[in-house]
A and B are shown apart, each in its own frame.
Chain A
C-alpha cells in the first residue's frame, strides 16, 4: 500500500500543478493523514471514534495559537500539535476505553463536540467564531513553506510517512492483537492480549495523526476557524472511512478521494454537502457492505490471491 500511495502522491502534481490543483491535492493529503489515523482506532481496533475532527481542530489550534500568539517558532509549534492531541487522546481514552465500544463512541462524540464548542467560545485564545488569524508561515532552517508546491510536498511526505507507519502497525504483533481483539475479545485475551493498553495505543496514534493533519492545515491556510471541525466533519470522516472499508489498507485512500471530491463539489453546492454524503453512504453500504476495501479483499480472496487485510495498512 505505501507503494500505491507514493505513486499517487508523486504523479498527481505531475499532471496537475496549477496553484488551485496543488491546493486540492494538499487537501487530499490532509484527508489521507486524518483517515489513516482514524483507521487505527475505527478499523484496526474496531472501536468507532467520532473525535477525529475534534483532534484535527485541536492540532490546528495548538499549532496556530503557539505560532501566532505564543511566539513559539513555527517548526516547534508544528511539532507540539501532535503531542498535544496525543496527550488529549490518552486522557479521553483512559476514561472511556475500558468501556464497551458504544460508550467509547459516545465519549468521543462528546469530546469532539466539547472541543468544537471550545474553538468557538474561547475567543481570547482561539479568536472565537471569527477564527484565528496571524499564523506565520512554517519555516524550517530559513526555508518558508509559502508556495503551494512546497506545502503540497510537505503534506505528501507526511501522508506517505503516515501510510508507511500504518502499514507497519497493521503487520505488527500489536496490530494483529488489535484486530484479534476486535473480532473475538475472549480468544485474544486468552492469547495474552491486553485490551486496554492496546486500544489506548491505537487511539493515541489516531490522535497523533490528527494532530499532524491539524498542523499542516494551520500552516497551509494560515487561518483556523471552528467550522472546519464541526460535527459534520466528525461524521463525514467516519463515513468516508467506512465507505473505503474501515480496517482495510485502501480505505484511507478511497475515503480521502471521496472527501476531496466532496470538497470540489461543495465549492458550488455547499448546501447539498450533507445530502450528497448521505446518498453516497447509502449507496456504498448497499453495494459494498464491508466498504470498497472489503469488496476488493473478497474478490482477491476469491481468485486465490491472499486477502489484503493481512497486509492492511
Chain B
C-alpha cells in the first residue's frame, strides 16, 4: 500500500489535444508536493481528475492504496479527499459557520428523512459539527465572523473560509488549486505557514501554484508538468536549477541567473 495520494499513468484528451499524457505522481502524507508548470500544462485538469470532476481515459488515482477510479467527485469526499478551487468557491447567502459546516457533510450520517424529523442522533451530530467548525474558525481567527454572510468578508478571509471548510472534512489528501491567487504578499506569507502546518498534521498536500516564492518555501517535492507530461520532478533546489524547467517556463535563451517564475 502506498500511503497518501498517488496518480498513475493518467491520460486525458479533449478533442484533439492530449491534455494529460500518462502522468504519474505521488503525494505522500505529511509532505507538500507541488505541481508547477506553465499555463496550459494540464495542472487544473490533473486537479480535476484527482478530485473526480474529470474522468480520465486511462490511469488510476489512489488514496492510501484505495483505488478511486470510477468514483465521482462527491464520493471522493467520503474518502477524505479535500480540494479548494482556483476561483474562490464559497456558498454565498450562507453564513461563514454554515460554509465551514458544509465541509463536514461527507462524514455526516443523518439521512434525508432526518431532515424532516430530526432525531436525537441527528441533533447531536449537528451540534458536534457546529462545535468543530467553530473551533476551526477560531484557528483561522474568524470566530467573530461566524454568523456573518460569507460574501461580506474580504477576499483573503473568504479564501480562509474555503480552507477551513476543507479542513473540517479532516482530509487525508488535500488538493490546493492556486491558493495564493489574488492574495496580497503578506497574506500569501501567512498562507505558506498554514500549508506547512497542514503537512505537519500528516495530510498529503498537493499544491498547484504559480507563486514560486510560496512554492520554494513550503514544498518538499516538486513535479513539473509541461504539455501534459511530467517534465521532471525532485527537490525544490534541484528543480529550480533544471534548465528544462527554466526553458518550459520562460522560453529558450532566458538568462538563468534571474531564476524561475514571478
Contact = CB atoms under 8 A, between A and B. Distances in A.
Interface stretch (A1-9, A90-98, A102-110, A176-184): A176-184
Q: Which of A172, A301, A310 has the most CB of B within 10 A?
A: A172
Given A174-B110, A191-B169, A309 B94 contact: yes
A275 interface: no
Interface string B168-180: 0100000000000
A201 B83 contact: no
Contacts of A195: 74
A183 B158 CA distance: 15
Interface string B117-156: 1100010011000000000000000000001110010000
Q: Which of A186, A190, A194, A201 has the most CB of B within 10 A?
A: A190
A122 interface: no
Contacts of B76: 190
Given A168-B116, A301-B152, A310-B98, A183 B91 contact: yes
B53 interface: yes
Contacts of B149: 301, 307, 309
Main SS at interface, chain A:
helix
B115 A186 contact: no
A189 interface: yes
Contacts of B101: 176
B94 A183 contact: yes
A205 interface: yes
A299 B227 CA distance: 51
B105 A187 contact: no
A192 B74 contact: yes
A205 B115 CA distance: 11
Given A173-B122, A176-B102, A187 B91 contact: yes
B102 A180 contact: yes
A173 B89 contact: no
A193 B116 CA distance: 18
B147 A306 contact: yes
A310 B95 CA distance: 7
Contact of B74 (A172, A184, A189): A189
Interface in A96-122: none
A200 to B, nearest CB: 9
B110 A187 contact: no
Contact of B95 (A169, A193, A307): A307
A177 B110 contact: no
B90 A184 contact: yes
Given A187-B89, A187-B90, A194-B74, A309 B95 contact: yes
Interface size classification for chain B = 35 or more
B77 A192 contact: yes
A247 interface: yes
B105 A177 contact: yes
Given A180-B102, A190-B51, A172 B122 contact: yes
Given A177-B102, A191-B165, A309 B116 contact: no
B110 A191 contact: no
Contacts of A187: 85, 89-91, 102, 162, 165
Nearest to A197: B112
Nearest to B117: A168
Contact of B77 (A173, A184, A190): A190
Contact of B115 (A168, A197, A301): A168
A174 B74 CA distance: 14
A172 B147 contact: no
A188 interface: yes
A252 interface: no
B94 A172 contact: no
Contacts of A309: 93-95, 149
Given A174-B110, A188-B91, A192-B74, 16 more contacts: A173-B110, A173-B126, A174-B112, A174-B115, A176-B102, A179-B98, A180-B91, A184-B89, A190-B74, A190-B82, A190-B166, A193-B102, A301-B149, A306-B147, A307-B147, A309-B95
15 contacts: A169-B116, A172-B126, A173-B105, A173-B122, A174-B112, A174-B114, A183-B93, A187-B90, A189-B53, A190-B83, A190-B166, A192-B74, A192-B105, A193-B105, A306-B147
Interface of B: 51, 53, 72-78, 82-83, 85, 89-95, 97-98, 101-103, 105-108, 110-112, 114-118, 122, 125-126, 147-149, 152, 162, 165-166, 169
